[in-house]
Structure 1
Amino acid sequence: MRRVWMLLFLLLGAAHAQQDLLLRVLLTEAPAGSIQLGPHQRNSAFGSQDFGAGTLRVAAGAGEVLIDGQSAGPWVEFVTTDGFALGERSYRGNLLAVWQAGRVLFINRVWLEDYLLGVVPSEVPASFPEAVLQAQAILARTFALYRLNPQGLYDLCATERCQVYLGRSVETPRHTSAIYATRSLIVSFNQKPITAVYHSDSGGYTAASAEVWGSSVPYLVSRPDPFAQSPSSTWSRTLSPAAIARSLASQGIQVGAVQAVAPLLVSESGRPLRLRVVGSSRSVELDGPQSTRLLRGLGLPSTRVRFDGWQVFGQGNGHGVGMSQWGARGLALQGWDFRQILGYYYPGTFLSSFEVVAGLQDKLPRAGYPISWAHAGLAPAKPAPALVTRLFYTTFGPGWF
């Protein structure tokens, strides 16, 4: 019996042993910053040296990084076994400080799965169903792989421009469980990570990529989203002619004093595909992406709107493309699992293992991305066959609406 349990343990260990990849995440860019860390090694152009624990001031000098006023060269990496704190936040992994144009780039070098521990809780609440947490973990992992940038100093930022990454302080057991349960899984198309965009609340209908950004992507299409019902799903705002003029000016468009705004063509998802702005000097017609930039420039939560004079009534929150987090919550409460949720919001895509990405095994290590096995020290003699599974979804019937 003991031999059976030991064999089962080894088989489970090999089955769950998966590859992990070292990312570079820009935490902040500033003239200086305060870091706290335990015993550590400092690697720089001057070599490597061991140091004890402490609180350090890292600042930009004249073409160099200064540590407590002493030169460390153009860059320095703090290598730790237990992470570090930058300002008020703590992070896993190492910290790379790079001088650039009179400022310091504070870059977290962190394993992908550890990075997700600080991303998924920042994107969806722990109270959401497990299927949503799992879907979000897969999308966040896919988004990170899609954004790898070997030519740049970093791959991702830590803000909404990329994915919100808040480090150790936001980790929760439920999020961690969802990340581990989906370890190495991504959504792919043509053996590449998809453009894994997502948003908070579609307002009842997701948008196609073409109507928001002008470029068509096969799996980013409009979808009914009947369960997207967040606490702020419906809203209204009063538009200011002066604010509209300023938002137009940011696109290089001048119309004089704005006199009226009206949609000429609305997409299937309820978003303007053509918007007319009447000004004192001229009138202009904006296409879908221009309309999006105008409306989001006005601070509107979404572009699923209707107009009544200067009053605008809207639904949803976010750009509306890809998975709606609140919509996914509603689907999960109807019994959908993460595969069905992802298949619905990204039709025609595949649930794939990390290894399916074309050229991953050869190209990424050569580009400077370390890859290692991660699972309690266990690693199979060779990688398991890559997983590729077509994502299917249940279509909505008349009873859903």
Structure 2
Amino acid sequence: MEMNHTIWKWRSASVLSRGLLAAALAVGSFLIPANESHADADGTIRVALYADIGSKYKSTVPLVTLQSEQSFNLVSIQTGSAPLQAVPAQTKIRVSLDGYRVKVLESSTWQAAADAAKKLQSTTDKPQLFVATKNGATVYQLYTGVYASENAAKEGLARVVKVGLTIPAGQAPMLTGNKHLSTGGYSTQQEATVALNQITAAGFDAWVVLLSAADGSARYEVWAGEAANESDLATFQAGLAAALPQFVLSAVAVTAPGLIVRMDAGLDWNSESQASHYIVSGSNAKFAASANDAGIQMVERSKRTYRGNLELSGLNGSLAVINVVPLEQYLYAVVGGEVSSGWPEEALKAQAVAARSYALSQGNKFDVANVVDTTLSQVYNGIGAEAPVITRAVDATAGEVLMSGGKIVEAVFSSNSGGVTADPTEVWNNGGDVFVSVASPEDIAAAATSKKWFNVILANGVSGYAREDNVKLTGNQTSAGLDIVTATTKDVNIRSLPVIESTVSPVGKLNPGENAVVLDKVIESGSYSWIKGPYTSAVLLKSLQGKTSGSLPSSILSLQVTGRGPSGRAIQVKANGEILQVKYPDLFRSSFNGLPSTLFDIVPSGSYTVLGADGSTATISNSQSAGVLSASGMVTVAGTGTVVMGKANTARVISSNSGFLFIGQGNGHGLGMSQWGVKGMADNGNDYKQILQHYYHNVTIVKE
């Protein structure tokens, strides 16, 4: 199936400042060539920041908090529409979706409402606090939600009731919704406010609503009530009509677009601060925070600041936020998020062309968006990833894409291929003739500044890793020819793996004057090479759940790579002699507790294999003893603590804990371009076209 990769333009989008983004394809993506229609040079791309797109993508949030160093406007997405609301510079606003909520309580004091909100904050039912005027007095209204459906809201209501909140006398948490009454239209916001004050003074909930007229001009209405169903709305209407018969009330259509204006009082649960809160109402509603030169910050998205328009709408009962940004400026952020601005210019250019090709090949893959801002598409972190050198690299390759067979190539890439890129058969079983396994020795550039670690065994039998700058060789060796080291400083940590992990305690200590035997010397675990585990049978079985098509054993006693592809990546693994059936080989990464790549070996930590003179093999576990022929004759050695010699004066110790070590190279799926390999090739003097044509076969570089 071919996908239309046309990037939709938003004609009302203003010219944006430069931004940048990063790219990495996630597990399970498929390579589908696009058709021949391309975005224009001034086209925009739609990036989903928050949206519920079903099985394709789901990242949701109850509300977003926006602000900018410059003023910006809230607008209706309609050609020629006038701004609905100006937001001053350095002013926070909030935006959420009109829908099902639980109204928890009303309080005359902020502190009482905030105390209840704090209790809800740690639950799944996130609080929102508004302040309003009713009956001539200030009232704080605490809600949870928004919920995607009435049933979900009812479940939320049941949970809220059980939290044990102090609810004012005469009140009880209740369900609210998106059914409202309108009192009609007003030509100015001031006129609407007069009507609003009459309704709230009588004790009814009501709000000014911003709308766009058919001719594009801004207009105003007052909406009253927030009923969850028609019956509740009818009851509310009867009460309002009886109290204020001068108003002509009509039900607001659920499709009617409007921005409900409320005042938020929940920016900080420790002290009261307020901000305007705009609620997107209407099933067909689409509004936007329009672009300015400074960009708009979104607090909930790690306080990232974005060029372009932030489109605000509802999708599947949740708030959808889509960044509509010029393609080339999107690339400033993508390249900056994917690779370091300190890399050679040719490496940055290669990344720019690959990222542009990938973006243009996606079509409307995510229905309401072309791409998302995570590694499911390409990493996109907004303006914060920008750098002048990256901007120059993107500009220098403006419009350039990779083409093959008249179509733009979906130019996937990964962080580090571990010395050799993957063949499509080793990843997702598809990819055409653009992707083949090629040598990538320059990947070792990722380890250029990495420390080496000694795998050692201490005098007490504990084994682990000591970093090279904390120990030194004594010049002595064991009778087996293994080096001996000692500590150069007090309390040298012995780590379980060759990397510092703040959440993992050391397995031992080594001090000056104490010796340790060197079993091996390895590069610090990183994107080029790594060691993971040892993982127990229970850990692996839990990770394998739902990822294999066959039944799993009750316990994993043996685990072996029994099939490898052209690059040496695992394409078949057996547990207890039975094949673990996965949908595609790259799924082994997540199946085995999140491995960096599938270019790995499996080493049992609690056993070793003995090769007999007749070619037969036997596995000795840590609970078994074995007869060993030594210079003094036959001796019996226990399994645990046995040091097994390997090649080139290396060895390993048999652990008392059974499990499986994964020793591998590379980070990512390995298909297409290797980013660290690109850096290494650029260091060696290759230009970006040579680099791209090394990693992608049968391609031409075309300026669109």
Could you tell me how far 1:278 is from its partner in structure 2? 2.1
Q: Partner of 1:84 in structure 2?
A: 296
Alignment of 1:301-312 (within 5 A): 301-309=596-604, 310-312=660-662
1:75 matched to 2:286? The reply is yes
- Give the whole-Å Cα distance in 2 for the aligned partners of 1:267 and 1:150: 30
Q: Of residues 45, 69, 73 in structure 2, which corresponds to 1:23?
A: 45
CA RMSD of aligned residues (A): 2.2
Aligned residues: 333
Q: Of residues 30, 34, 40 in structure 1, which corresponds to 2:65?
A: 34
- Give the whole-Å Cα distance in 2 for the aligned partners of 1:244 and 1:291: 17
Q: Partner of 2:697 in structure 1?
A: 347
- Give the whole-Å Cα distance in 1 for the aligned partners of 2:542 and 2:561: 19
Q: Of residues 552, 560, 573 in structure 2, which corresponds to 1:262?
A: 560
- Give the whole-Å Cα distance in 1 for the aligned partners of 2:260 and 2:66: 13
Q: Which amino acid aligns with 2:598?
A: T
Q: Of residues 536, 542, 548 in structure 2, which corresponds to 1:240?
A: 536
Change (3 A) 1:336 1:158: same
SS, match of residue 378 in structure 2: coil
- Give the whole-Å Cα distance in 1 for the aligned partners of 2:670 and 2:329: 28
Using the size of structure 1 for normalisation, the TM-score is 0.78
Task: State whether residues 44 and 326 of structure 2, in contact with CA within 8 Å, keep that contact through their aligned partners in structure 1.
Answer: yes
Change (3 A) 1:241 1:96: same
1:44-94 deviation digits (Å, cap 9, x = unpaired) = 579643432242211122168755155553321222333311111111111
- Give the whole-Å Cα distance in 1 for the aligned partners of 2:550 and 2:95: 43
Q: Which amino acid aligns with 2:288?
A: E
Q: Partner of 1:324 in structure 2?
A: 674
SS, match of residue 402 in structure 2: strand
Q: Partner of 2:386 in structure 1?
A: 171
1:126-153 deviation digits (Å, cap 9, x = unpaired) = 1111111000001111111011207811
Q: Partner of 1:4 in structure 2?
A: none
Alignment of 1:338-377 (within 5 A): 338-354=688-704
Task: State whether residues 219 and 349 of structure 1, in contact with CA within 8 Å, keep that contact through their aligned partners in structure 2.
Answer: yes
Task: State whether residues 440 and 677 of structure 2, in contact with CA within 8 Å, keep that contact through their aligned partners in structure 1.
Answer: yes
SS, match of residue 80 in structure 1: coil
Q: Of residues 83, 93, 96 in structure 1, which corresponds to 2:308?
A: 93
SS, match of residue 273 in structure 1: strand
SS, match of residue 286 in structure 1: coil
Task: State whether residues 43 and 79 of structure 1, in contact with CA within 8 Å, keep that contact through their aligned partners in structure 2.
Answer: no
Tell me, which stretches of 5 or more residues in structure 1 are unaligned? 1-17, 355-401
SS, match of residue 340 in structure 2: coil
Instruction: Calculate percent identity across the aligned residue pairs.
Output: 30
Change (3 A) 1:114 1:216: closer
Q: Of residues 569, 580, 589 in structure 2, which corresponds to 1:295?
A: 589
- Give the whole-Å Cα distance in 1 for the aligned partners of 2:365 and 2:380: 20
Could you tell me how far 1:157 is from its partner in structure 2? 0.6
Q: Which amino acid aligns with 1:307?
A: I
Q: Partner of 1:367 in structure 2?
A: none
Task: State whether residues 355 and 411 of structure 2, in contact with CA within 8 Å, keep that contact through their aligned partners in structure 1.
Answer: yes
- Give the whole-Å Cα distance in 2 for the aligned partners of 1:122 and 1:76: 28
- Select the structure that is richer in helix: 1
Alignment of 1:128-277 (within 5 A): 128-149=343-364, 152-229=367-444, 230-231=446-447, 232=526, 233-237=528-532, 238-251=534-547, 252-255=549-552, 256-277=554-575
Q: Which amino acid aligns with 1:165?
A: Y
- Give the whole-Å Cα distance in 2 for the aligned partners of 1:150 and 1:164: 16
Q: Which amino acid aligns with 1:292?
A: D
Could you tell me how far 1:242 is from its partner in structure 2? 1.8
Q: Partner of 2:95 in structure 1?
A: 58
Task: State whether residues 245 and 254 of structure 1, in contact with CA within 8 Å, keep that contact through their aligned partners in structure 2.
Answer: no
Q: Partner of 1:386 in structure 2?
A: none
Change (3 A) 1:307 1:164: same
SS, match of residue 377 in structure 2: coil
Task: State whether residues 280 and 313 of structure 2, in contact with CA within 8 Å, keep that contact through their aligned partners in structure 1.
Answer: no
- Give the whole-Å Cα distance in 2 for the aligned partners of 1:259 and 1:148: 46
- Give the whole-Å Cα distance in 2 for the aligned partners of 1:216 and 1:113: 26
Task: State whether residues 421 and 440 of structure 2, in contact with CA within 8 Å, keep that contact through their aligned partners in structure 1.
Answer: yes
Using the size of structure 2 for normalisation, the TM-score is 0.45
Change (3 A) 1:242 1:45: farther
1:266-294 deviation digits (Å, cap 9, x = unpaired) = 12211112211228xxx33436x544213
Q: Which amino acid aligns with 1:109?
A: V
Task: State whether residues 41 and 80 of structure 1, in contact with CA within 8 Å, keep that contact through their aligned partners in structure 2.
Answer: no
SS, match of residue 24 in structure 1: strand
Tell me, which stretches of 5 or more residues in structure 2 are unaligned? 1-39, 51-59, 100-177, 179-256, 262-276, 448-525, 605-659
Could you tell me how far 1:96 is from its partner in structure 2? 0.2
Q: Which amino acid aligns with 1:264?
A: T
